[in-house]
Copies of this chain bind each other. A is one copy, B any other.
Amino acid sequence: MEAPELTEKISDCLREGNVEEIKEMLSSIHTSEIATLLQSLDQEDRSKVLNSLDTETASQIILELEKEHRQEILSELDHEKIADIVEEMDSDDAADVISELPEDTAKVVLEKMPPEDVREVESLLQYPRDTAGGIMQAELVQVIHDSTVRDAINWIRLIADEVQDFNEIYVTDESDRLLGIVSLKRLILANPMTRVGEMMEPVAVTVTPYVDQEEVANIFKKYDIVSLPVVDERGRLLGRITADDVIDVITEEASEDIYRFAGAGEYVHPIYTPTLTRIKLRLPWLFLTLFGELFIAFVIAHSFKPTLQRVVVLAAFMPAIMATGGNVGLQATTVVIRGLGMGTITPGQALKVIVSEMRLGFSLGIICGIIAALIGALIGIHEPEVIKIALAIFIAMTSATIATAFMGAAEPLALHKLKFDPAAACGPFVTMFNDIFGSIVYLLIATVIF
């Protein structure tokens, strides 16, 4: 059944109060589709549908919702129901959802949860959301090094329901310090009386909880792993990060890069988000552009009017110089931001990268400059001072591309050095710098030449 058809059927059932049939219909579709469906219903119907589902399904759906919808939908449920739903979740998801709740709701919900779960969730809540601690889960299988394989299997039997998916067990000493790992594959094949400490493999890599999630993602990529233990500074096991969480992190970080890049703020769904929210997200970047460009307008009107008045055709080439320079700068920024993000460009290579981008910008500028000057000469063939026009175009184009290549490469590297996110607003800033620099240099050169 297609989504719109399903929505209609559900609405029908809701009107008729036929909860059983809704349950029946929803049982056959994936929770992520139910989530999408919920987002298209109005508040009343939404609550009815959610209340008709069992807690486990409801908890999965809540996790699939987009953040704003999750907050909205949870605010419509009573605290008891929220506590039940959150209890069903893995500790990392539970912590995320609770951190999104209004403070007083969170407090009441935590009071209604079993103390054991609360301890786990609270220990996770202490870490920022975008760190290893923020994305790790507390559920894992931990055994002491002198346990036998049989002990370990018995332990797994006991906690099998609580720890959902795992493919290795963590071997620690008596003070929880991580010593090694035994894969389930090895555990299955082992003699039941072997001690896990004797058969464990060394841990390839661990992280501490305050490591940034982008760094965590890079570790997964570099080591080709599907789970990663998190330990404190004394090596004690705190939790584990699984590949599915990292997939979410990578998607989220890539989107963040792209939105910042385009000056689009952050991702919100174009249909489900109120226009006012979207205006607020986008307007700051537009203002950056707008005021930068109005500054250019002011400078041109104030200082270069005589030049333009004398050779009005100069104005025709301003867009070409600004756009080409802007493009070169954006290319440099993209390559550097992405390289830093993926870890293929190291901060130690900063100088080399900047030089390399400037050399490339210069080459590109020469090529584009020659072409633009030639075409400029053709277009301005009837102008009395056509050679000077072509010369101004060429010099301005080349200067603009070198300058923006430098800015484009240096800005993200500098931000990275200063521990800021290199992707932060580089796109719009580089474009603005370039436009101001390109147009003013062009008119300055033209004024000098004429």
Instruction: Let me know if A364 and B282 touch, CB within 8 A.
Output: yes
**Given known A-B contacts A283-B364, A293-B323, A259 and B338 have beta carbons under 8 A apart:** yes
Tell me what chain A mostly uses at the interface: helix, strand, loop, or mixed.
Answer: helix
Instruction: Let me know if A262 and B330 touch, CB within 8 A.
Output: yes
- Residues of chain B within 8 A (CB-CB) of A194 are none
A258 shortest CB reach to chain B, Å: 6
Instruction: Let me know if A188 and B183 touch, CB within 8 A.
Output: no
Instruction: Let me know if B301 and A349 touch, CB within 8 A.
Output: no
Instruction: Let me know if A30 and B222 touch, CB within 8 A.
Output: yes
How many angstroms between the C-alpha atoms of A221 and B330 in the bound complex?
A: 30
Instruction: Let me know if A323 and B243 touch, CB within 8 A.
Output: no
Q: Is A220 among interface residues, defined by CB-CB distance under 8 A?
A: yes
Q: Using a CB-CB cutoff of 8 Å, which residues 52-79 of chain A contact chain B?
A: 66
A63 shortest CB reach to chain B, Å: 9
Instruction: Let me know if A267 and B338 touch, CB within 8 A.
Output: yes
Instruction: Let me know if A301 and B319 touch, CB within 8 A.
Output: no
Which residue from B184, B317, B357 sits with its C-beta under 8 Å from A167?
A: B184
Q: Is A41 among interface residues, defined by CB-CB distance under 8 A?
A: no
Instruction: Let me know if B297 and A308 touch, CB within 8 A.
Output: no
The copy count of this chain in the complex is 2
Pick the most buried of A185, A270, A308, A409: most chain B CB atoms within 10 A of its CB. Answer: A270
Can you list 11 contacts pairing A with B, beta carbon distance less than 8 Å? A184-B185, A220-B247, A243-B247, A247-B250, A262-B331, A262-B333, A271-B356, A294-B379, A297-B379, A309-B312, A312-B315
Q: What does the 1/0 interface line of A322-361 toward B look like (CB < 8 Å)?
A: 1110011011011110110010111011001100110110
How many angstroms between the C-alpha atoms of A339 and B240 in the bound complex?
A: 30
A435 shortest CB reach to chain B, Å: 6
Across the interface, name the chain B residue whose C-beta is closest to A184: B184
Q: Is A21 among interface residues, defined by CB-CB distance under 8 A?
A: no
Instruction: Let me know if B225 and A327 touch, CB within 8 A.
Output: no
Instruction: Let me know if B283 and A300 touch, CB within 8 A.
Output: no
Instruction: Let me know if B286 and A327 touch, CB within 8 A.
Output: yes
Q: Is A248 among interface residues, defined by CB-CB distance under 8 A?
A: yes
A275 shortest CB reach to chain B, Å: 6
List the one stretch of A12-20, A102-110, A127-135, A367-375 in contact with chain B: A367-375
List the one stretch of A112-120, A152-160, A195-203, A229-237 in contact with chain B: A152-160
Q: What does the 1/0 interface line of A264-285 toward B look like (CB < 8 Å)?
A: 1001111100010011001101
